[in-house]
Amino acid sequence: MSAIRLTAAQAMVRYIVNQLNEDGDTFIAGCWAIFGHGNVAALGEALYGVREQLPTYRGHNEQAMAHAAIAFSKQLRRGRAMMVTSSIGPGATNMVTAAATAHVNRIPLLLVPGDVFATRGPDPVLQQIEEFGDGTVSANDCFRPVSRYFDRITRPEQLLTALPRAMATMVDPATAGPVTLAFCQDIQAHAYDFPERFFEPRVWRMRRPRPDGTELAAAVEAVRQARAPVIVAGGGVHYSRAEAELQAFAEAHGIPVVETQAGKSSLPWDHPLNLGPVGVTGASSANSACMDADTVIGVGTRFQDFTTGSWNLFQHPDRKLISLNVQPYDTNKHGAIPVVCDARHGLEDLGAELGGFRAEPPDADVKASWFASVDRLTDAPDKDSNELATDMQVIGAVQRQAGPETVVMCAAGTMPGELHKLWKAGKPMSYHMEYGYSCMGYEIAGALGIKMAEPERDVICFTGDGTYLMMNSELATAAMMGMDFTVVVTDNRGFGCINRLQMGTGGEQFNNLLDHTVHANPSRIDFAAHAEALGATSVKVADVAGLEAALARRGEVKGPFVVVIDTDPYPSTAEGGHWWEVAIPEVSDRPAVREARGAYETAIADRNAR
């Protein structure tokens, strides 16, 4: 058997560039890297050698680099992924939050943090964490609970098993998520005679299992007995590219569809059977259908608490839950009838077995009533109004300027809830929301990742002032890369979303808005000037009309374009929505908290009684 002598780092990158997806593209599309003493010498040299086949991108923050990689893969429906490497110590632990984001959202991501010396000769090295009772532990053990597969490379030949395991984990829809290969820095430089066949090109096919016959039969029987079924479309619809099958299934059987944050845009917003967003940030049209549903068919959803109203939404006394999902863990939640399968194949087979079954179509007036109640919120304000813009009016302005190829994206704060309720998504994947981990700081890096995935798309990122301050560094990266996307910064002077939650749970306004925080000096942050300093084109607009005018010229701007607008932190869409369980203190001197606790206990009792 012929062999080739390579360093472990050289072997890793040579293997990666030969792993292909079903379209013949390299599955790992590129590597984000911030070099340090744990990866610059050996892995840096290896990446330089394959820079034409595996581009290396330099970021400014390890967490943000990984967020860009996550958004890239999410927008491509997990068809490709990226590698992210850091030095040991803080560079590595900066990526733990991003690993958790990828884990919750089931997005493939290859993390290669540098690690300590396997030989332990120079211990303790710079940035090394020393566990007094366990010599095998390093800072990278933080990745274990947030990785789908974790390995520490302490010998070059371990790559022969670790790398195929890593690939198998990332490409399988049932296990897709972050893989961490903690790479000891001395081992990166060690040489080994690797078999040449290890580097032969390999095509990895995404497994799309069909339903088990027994499980399918149980689901068919449950649907046939249904009088008021509803479909909950989750992110798995997009990852399976099952939008057409979902529409065909819903139309054939007259079953209405409601959408989670991850599943939004599964059906066009104006399709008669799309009742809109579901759950805590849902539409009254969707939530009323779910409250009355005797059979709930989840397709590619993990039934997060925002989707289920903390399991207080599905209120029919005889409610049955059916879960179509590639991951058995998800199919068995809350006593569901499990159907382990790919979403596309599951809908095809379920539809074929149901034959001519049809449910009573939803009342069209319910959906029309929802839009009649909320469309006014997104209208432009009176031109003579001196009031601050609301988040709803900002959404309306962006919607009016959006086109068929626009992708709107967000992750945390006020906008996810408002966008879920109000944004009218047309094409699949035109709505990109990271709301599994709701990670502040994902937004700007995520917009960069989306643009890298689909350069032809018009990308508009919503972010608040609080999130902007948490993670804005990749604006500089985007400017240097010449990546065109738009960032709308809504400045409500603090954490407006959590301030409203604080008030809604009986709390006094405290430590969220800047006006309710003790500071020696008042805040005078100029977000437009800051964005300009990072290399973006930026403008501060006075009102909604100014926002629309700025957005209208975004096609003329090269590189990132940042538009800042002051907004009112208090208004939100009162229509729709559902109860969400947030624990409220049992004991308090404040009457408002005691009143909120009483309402909380009533809601818990109602849920437990069902």
Residue by residue, DSSP assigns 413-475 as SHHHHHHHHH----STTSEEE--SS--TTHHHHHHHHHHHH-TTSEEEEEEEHHHHHHS-THH
How much is the pTM?
0.97
Model confidence pLDDT, tens digit, residues 428-454: 999 999 999 999 999 999 999 999 999
Please give the domain boundaries of the chain with CATH numbers for all domains.
3-203 (3.40.50.970), 213-364 (3.40.50.1220), 379-566 (3.40.50.970)
With 90 as the cut, is the pLDDT of residue 43 above it? yes
100 SS3 class: helix
Q: How confident is the model at residue 610 (pLDDT cuts 50, 70, 90)?
A: confident
Q: How confident is the model at residue 383 (pLDDT cuts 50, 70, 90)?
A: confident
pLDDT of residue 609: 85
Model confidence pLDDT, tens digit, residues 255-304: 999 999 999 999 999 999 999 999 999 999 999 999 999 999 999 999 99
CB 470 within 8 A of CB 500: no
pLDDT of residue 522: 87
Stretch (H or E) spanning 407: strand 406-410
Torsion over CA: 592, 593, 599, 602 (sign)? negative
pLDDT of residue 386: 83
User: CA 26 to CA 21: how far, in whole Å?
Assistant: 6
CB 409 within 8 A of CB 447: yes
CB 2 within 8 A of CB 38: no
And the tokens for 583? Answer: 């624990």
CB 239 within 8 A of CB 173: yes
User: CA 333 to CA 402: how far, in whole Å?
Assistant: 38
The mean pLDDT value for 491-497 works out to 95
With 80 as the cut, is the pLDDT of residue 366 above it? yes
The mean pLDDT value for 84-90 works out to 96
With 80 as the cut, is the pLDDT of residue 1 above it? no
With 80 as the cut, is the pLDDT of residue 50 above it? yes
CB 293 within 8 A of CB 225: no
Model confidence pLDDT, tens digit, residues 464-474: 999 999 999 99
User: CA 271 to CA 268: how far, in whole Å?
Assistant: 5
The overall average pLDDT reported for the chain is 97
User: CA 571 to CA 395: how far, in whole Å?
Assistant: 13
Sole residue written with tokens 């395991």: 165
User: CA 19 to CA 28: how far, in whole Å?
Assistant: 8
Q: How confident is the model at residue 214 (pLDDT cuts 50, 70, 90)?
A: very high
CB 494 within 8 A of CB 517: yes
Q: How confident is the model at residue 64 (pLDDT cuts 50, 70, 90)?
A: very high
Residue 480: phi and psi, rounded to 5, are -70, -30
pLDDT of residue 590: 96
Model confidence pLDDT, tens digit, residues 553-566: 999 999 999 999 99
Among 322, 352, 363, smallest CA distance to 226 is for 322
CB 556 within 8 A of CB 394: no
Q: How confident is the model at residue 385 (pLDDT cuts 50, 70, 90)?
A: confident
Beta strands in 289-392 (DSSP E): 295-299, 320-325, 337-340
User: CA 70 to CA 414: how far, in whole Å?
Assistant: 22
Q: Where is average pLDDT lowest: 15-19, 122-126, 140-144? A: 122-126
Query: How many CB atoms are closer than 10 A to CB 526?
Result: 12
User: Do β-strands 178-184 and 28-33 pair in parallel, antiparallel, or remain unpaired?
Assistant: unpaired
